[in-house]
Amino acid sequence: MTDSLTCFKAYDIRGRLGIDLDEGIARRIGRAFAETLGARRVVLGRDIRASSGQLAAAVAEGLVAAGAEVLDLGLSGTEEMYFATGHLGADGGICVTASHNPMDYNGMKMVQAGAAPLDPATTMPALRRLAETQGFAPARTGGRITDASATRAAYVARVLSFVDTAALRPLHILVNCGNGAAGPTFDAIATALAAKGAPLRFTRMHHDHDGSFPNGIPNPLLPENQPATAAATIAAGADMAVAFDGDFDRCFFFDHEGRFVPGEYVVGLLAEVFLAKEPGAAIVHDPRVILATQATVARAGGRALMARTGHAFLKQALRDSGAVYGGEMSAHHYFRDFYACDSGMIPWLLVAELMGRSGKPLADLLADRRAAFPSSGEINFRVPDVRAAIARIEAAYASRAETRDDTDGLSLDFGTWRLNLRASNTEPLLRLNVESRARPDLVEQAVADITALIA
């Protein structure tokens, strides 16, 4: 029997419940995962969505049928699955999560031994073929489920190893967990910080995990979701705010005035922290918005390396180069000493440390960067033909560019300003980013002109 499983994407599993993904499909994916990777021990976590418990149980059944031991984390973040896979020496890991997708979706994020991403060119297609054909080997004995929730203590210790708690100064931080999976893990980190005497005070918002998401799907990157956190930050008189997405592998910042901090400036801040600790280190960044990051890395004496957008590419670049840190403007931040994986908990601790060391509020740390390198933010277009739209922009602009880069989409630098135009890896969208060297007027004009051409 062969049927097409539409929930398979380039890097992970994602689909509509009852249409693209159900418990039967989840069971097949679990079994195919164990057989394709030859996995004998697999970490399994899940987010708070109403369907995640049943889907995770089905994945576990498939893994057990293949003779694997399931190291069950229970409710956890994707990064806890990454950490546990490496820390426990498992052969792979799966987190059942739809992160920031709509209510009627769910999915899975998966890694192999060492928390390395599955190869999108070989392993993912092989896994998909086996799940579709169901040409499984005979069921094996010896599979079982083991409670691995106690691994959180080691995870918390690793997260705290990134920050010098002695450098922290009194800060009041508003934390918005979005009713997602972050709450219990954040509380464990906050308890460990208090035990170390860290002078941080927290105001919790939308903290209790609730799979019905009473305050909306937690995706702080969406402009319409930002005012609630901004207003709460001002009302609480907090020094900064941190908001998490559903599986908390991304965190987003607001300064004390409630202003949202675009992701590219956070990459620069974190690069600065790591280069102070490890002079001359390599820093990886994505190609969409690069000027602020490259200027920061150059000023701090580091090496800036560019990699294609997407976690599989960033993680591989970190592993290949030995870079200490990598960041994407979409708020994915990767750390060499966290199995080259992304974390949403490590970044806010490092920003708090930077604020403590500098004695400056977050707004002041960002002011010069915002002024020196204004950017448009990512603008998405739904177009009937993505390639044709890119070709129109190329025809109009490429001949005037000082430099061109095709690492990921079309990047053109005109000296005073720069654009990146690329097809989304995960959605049928065309994504535009424009940035400039201290010329916000050029950003505004370029966005208007390019938008007209795309339309």
Question: What sign does the CA torsion over 252, 257, 258, 261 have?
Answer: negative
From CA 38, how far away is CA 102, in angstroms rounded?
A: 33
Predicted pLDDT of residue 322: 97
Averaged over 6-16, what is the pLDDT?
A: 93
Predicted pLDDT of residue 92: 98
DSSP string, 272-287: HHHHHHSTT-EEEE-S
Per CATH, the homologous superfamily of domain 13-151 is Alpha-D-Glucose-1,6-Bisphosphate, subunit A, domain 3 (3.40.120.10)
103, with CB counted inside 10 A (0-12, 13-18, 19+), is middle
Q: Taking a C-beta distance cutoff of 8 angstroms, is the pair 124, 8 a contact? A: yes
Closest CA to 186 of 75, 110, 21: 75
Predicted pLDDT of residue 427: 73
Predicted pLDDT of residue 426: 67
**Which part of the chain has CATH 3.30.310.50?**
379-454
- The pLDDT-based confidence of 256 (bands split at 50, 70, 90) is very high
DSSP string, 224-275: GGHHHHHHHHHHHT-SEEEEE-TTSS-EEEEETT--B--HHHHHHHHHHHHH
Beta-strand pair 325-327/333-335: antiparallel
Phi then psi for residue 307, to 5 deg, are -135, 160
| Span 353-395, pLDDT tens digits | 999 999 999 999 999 999 999 999 999 999 999 999 999 999 9
Predicted pLDDT of residue 424: 85
DSSP string, 283-329: EEE-SSS-HHHHHHHHHTT-EEEE--SSHHHHHHHHHHH--SEEE-T
H or E element in which residue 405 lies: strand 403-405
Q: Which residue has the tokens 């424009």?
A: 434
- The pLDDT-based confidence of 425 (bands split at 50, 70, 90) is confident
Q: Taking a C-beta distance cutoff of 8 angstroms, is the pair 9, 124 a contact? A: no
36-45, 155-164, 293-302, 304-313: which has the minimum mean pLDDT?
A: 304-313
H or E element in which residue 421 lies: strand 417-423
Tokens of 399: 């001949």
| Span 268-278, pLDDT tens digits | 999 999 999 99
From CA 347, how far away is CA 271, in angstroms rounded?
A: 11
Averaged over 313-317, what is the pLDDT?
A: 94
The amino acid present at 239, given as its one-letter code, is D
Q: Is 99 a catalytic residue?
A: yes
Q: Which of 52, 99, 376, 436 is catalytic?
A: 99
Q: Taking a C-beta distance cutoff of 8 angstroms, is the pair 244, 265 a contact? A: no
**Which part of the chain has CATH 3.40.120.10?**
13-151, 155-370
Averaged over 338-359, what is the pLDDT?
A: 97
The answer on pLDDT for 143 being more than 90 is yes
| Span 29-42, pLDDT tens digits | 999 999 999 999 99
Helices (H), 66-104: 78-87
Predicted pLDDT of residue 2: 65
Closest CA to 274 of 241, 304, 308, 233: 304
Closest CA to 22 of 126, 104, 93: 104
Contact residues for 416 (Cβ-Cβ < 8 A; gap 6+): 436, 437, 439, 442
From CA 405, how far away is CA 123, in angstroms rounded?
A: 29
Opening angle at CA 438, ends 437 and 442, nearest 5: 80
Predicted pLDDT of residue 226: 97
Averaged over 426-449, what is the pLDDT?
A: 94
Closest CA to 74 of 99, 48, 98: 48
Predicted pLDDT of residue 220: 95
The CATH code of the domain at 379-454 is: 3.30.310.50
The answer on pLDDT for 161 being more than 70 is yes
The CATH code of the domain at 155-370 is: 3.40.120.10
Predicted pLDDT of residue 11: 84
62, with CB counted inside 10 A (0-12, 13-18, 19+), is buried
Averaged over 42-49, what is the pLDDT?
A: 98
Predicted pLDDT of residue 10: 83
- Paired with 144 in beta bridges are 69
| Span 78-132, pLDDT tens digits | 999 999 999 999 999 999 999 888 999 999 999 999 999 999 899 999 999 999 9
